[in-house]
């Protein structure tokens, strides 16, 4: 809303299963001319019909540096990072594939972990980086400087 980005609500309950829901979502996205789908927490909503409709054009922002700490959501990943005793976390923007958090990485940015860091404080720092990364990826894709494949031609 803040950036005047059009939105459409599709009621999941109106469909008999997730594949039918994804197929409708893919149809509406294609009709709207959508080129890239940016998601957070995608494994909750993305299934094969959508992956097939937008190969390499569904991107997910993950709240850690992949490949470490994959398959986790939000606060869980921040606590796991802290429990591991690492000195840096961050965010990763990657292409969504069938494997959880294992698609090709488009961007990564580190976030230092300081003494006394909590899951909530780390989450806040990482989310700030994620927001900047999402805006940067949209801008660079629109400018033609970011393509999911090096041989992909954008018009």
**Catalytic residue list contains 47:** no
Q: Which of 47, 57, 62, 94 is catalytic?
A: 62
Of the candidates 92, 33, 16, 82, which has an alpha carbon nearest to the alpha carbon of residue 60? 92
Q: What's the residue count for the chain?
A: 155
**What order do you get walking across the sheet with 58-62 strand by strand?**
37-39, 58-62, 88-95, 105-112
Q: Which residues contact 131 (CB under 8 A, 6 or more apart)?
A: none
Question: Phi/psi of residue 5, each to 5°?
Answer: -90, 125
Q: Which residues are catalytic?
A: 62
């Amino acid at each position: 809303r803040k950036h005047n980005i059009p939105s459409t609500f599709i009621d999941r309950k109106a469909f008999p299963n997730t594949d039918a829901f994804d197929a409708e979502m893919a149809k509406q996205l294609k009709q709207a001319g959508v080129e890239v789908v940016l998601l957070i927490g995608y494994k909750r909503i993305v299934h094969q019909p959508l992956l097939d409709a937008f190969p390499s054009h569904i991107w997910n922002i993950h709240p850690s540096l992949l490949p470490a700490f994959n398959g986790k959501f939000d606060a869980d990943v921040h606590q796991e990072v802290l429990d591991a005793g690492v000195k840096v976390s961050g965010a990763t923007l990657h292409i969504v594939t069938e494997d959880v958090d294992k698609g090709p990485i488009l961007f990564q940015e580190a976030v230092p972990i300081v003494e006394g860091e909590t899951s909530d404080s780390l989450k806040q720092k990482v989310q700030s980086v994620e927001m900047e990364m999402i805006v940067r990826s949209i801008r660079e894709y629109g400018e033609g400087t970011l393509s999911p494949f090096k041989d992909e031609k954008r018009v």
